[in-house]
Amino acid sequence: MVLQSTWFFLWGLLWAIFFITDGFDFGVGTLYPFLGKNDTDKRTMIAAIGPLWDGNEVWLITAGGVTFAAFPKVYAVMFSSLYTPLMLILFALIIRGVSFEFRDQIKSPAWTRVWDTAIFVGSFVPALLFGVAFANIFMGIPFNGDGVYEGTLLTLLNPYGLAGGVLFVLLFTLHGALWLCIRTDGDLQQRTIRTARILWPVLVVAAVTFLGASWFATDLYNNYLAQPALFLVIVFTVIALLAIRIFIAREAWFKAWFASCATIFGATFYGIVGLFPNLFPSSLDAAFSLSAFTDSSSPLTLKIMLGVVLIFIPLVIGYQVWAYSVFSHKVTEEDFYAH
């Protein structure tokens, strides 16, 4: 029980770290066509995330891999039920990844335009679809006792799912804007600041709407009502969200960005805490839901993987923090992607 619960929250933690790290890459990519007025702006934006996005994306691979290792049945049913959205996310991530590398290889406006579009699509689509997917998981997915999905492609595109998508896009876009504030100056930074100021109240509205809609659309609050101390997770998230605005007003960009990290962390755990012990609830019958207690790997595998994670994840965080510190200065032309 303890081992399985530990793994449940580790699973949530890995998703949260993925959303925090690659989230601002998605945000910068989403803002890219709107804030990148000229080639210098665009190359500045790419250089702002260029050294970091690749390492950030591995948190997704790790979140997926850990789902596979610790909860094989969840991995199997989750990934096959969400087949088409996952494939769309994969295609988006593929074109995003190569576009950073390919864009500046050929000096031709048509070539550049193709990869500029790819950067936007490859960033916006995953942000949206991860939101849609997780909101649907909060609601429950129509799969039966044999792990067979009984919905259609359009089942996931319900109002609550779409609200989740919009919320994620806004969270990540603001997150990306704040990272850009750290790494840019001059005109680009001023425009980014204005964007962040507009995005914040919109995000607040979306977050409140989503919290309210969750009351009607999901069973997330059952855990909170049974254990009212858990409401502190929501309180923490709300405080973090308010802190973003305070730090924006003070133009304290690092603090604003950290507050945004805390907001995304809180938002993820708001869902994770509500789901516990289910990882992938079924909307057809609660008995079909996949839970940490009934659908985990063997104790031996869970123990070995716990050892692996406890050794390597702190190490990874260590060298990634170092990488962030090397690449947190204001971007200049010297930092542009060039060989």
Q: Among residues 3, 33, 51, 255, which is the contact residue for other proteins, using CB under 8 A?
A: 51
Block residue for tokens 């009984």: 150
Per CB under 8 A, 320 contacts other proteins: yes
Per CB under 8 A, 323 contacts other proteins: yes
DSSP annotation of 22 = H
Per CB under 8 A, 157 contacts other proteins: no
Which residues are CB-contacts of 252 (< 8 A; sequence separation ≥ 6)? none
Per CB under 8 A, 40 contacts other proteins: no
Q: Among residues 4, 30, 44, 62, which is the contact residue for other proteins, using CB under 8 A?
A: 62
Block residue for tokens 């995000």: 203
DSSP annotation of 106 = S
- Amino acid present at 230: L
Q: Quote the radius of gyration of the chain (alpha carbons, Å).
A: 20
Contact 138, 274 (CB under 8 A): yes
Q: Given the rule CB under 8 A, which of 199-207, 223-231, 270-278, 302-310 is the region that contacts other proteins?
A: 302-310
Q: Given the rule CB under 8 A, which of 25-33, 165-173, 189-197, 305-313 is the region that contacts other proteins?
A: 305-313
* Strand-pair category, 290-291 with 278-280: antiparallel
Q: State the Cα–Cα distance between residues 257 and 265, nearest whole angstrom.
A: 12
CA distances from 152 to 65, 74, 143 (A): 26, 20, 11
Q: Which is nearer to other proteins, 92 or 196 (CB)?
A: 92
Q: Among residues 6, 33, 149, 328, which is the contact residue for other proteins, using CB under 8 A?
A: 149
Q: What minimum distance in Å lies between the beta carbon of 98 and other proteins?
A: 5
Contact 144, 288 (CB under 8 A): yes
Which residues are CB-contacts of 88 (< 8 A; sequence separation ≥ 6)? 125, 129
Q: Among residues 8, 15, 32, 75, which is the contact residue for other proteins, using CB under 8 A?
A: 75
Q: What minimum distance in Å lies between the beta carbon of 33 and other proteins?
A: 21
Q: What minimum distance in Å lies between the beta carbon of 177 and other proteins?
A: 21
Q: State the Cα–Cα distance between residues 118 and 29, nearest whole angstrom.
A: 9
Per-residue x/- marks for other proteins, 259-288, CB under 8 A? ------------------------------
Q: Which is nearer to other proteins, 211 or 313 (CB)?
A: 313
Q: State the Cα–Cα distance between residues 158 and 135, nearest whole angstrom.
A: 10
Q: Among residues 198, 205, 232, 304, which is the contact residue for other proteins, using CB under 8 A?
A: 304
Among positions 81-120, residues that touch other proteins (CB under 8 A) are 83-84, 86-87, 90-91, 93-95, 97-98, 100-102, 105-106
Q: State the Cα–Cα distance between residues 127 and 173, nearest whole angstrom.
A: 9
Per-residue x/- marks for other proteins, 202-231, CB under 8 A? ------------------------------
Please name which of 27, 295, 6, 16 lies closest in space to residue 134, comparing C-alpha atoms.
16
CA distances from 249 to 204, 229, 330 (A): 16, 32, 20
Q: Which residues pair with 278 in a beta bridge?
A: 291
The footprint of other proteins (CB under 8 A) covers 47, 50-55, 57-58, 60-62, 64-73, 75-80, 83-84, 86-87, 90-91, 93-95, 97-98, 100-102, 105-106, 146-149, 153, 297-298, 300-301, 304-305, 308-309, 312-313, 316, 319-320, 323, 326-327, 334-335, 337, 339
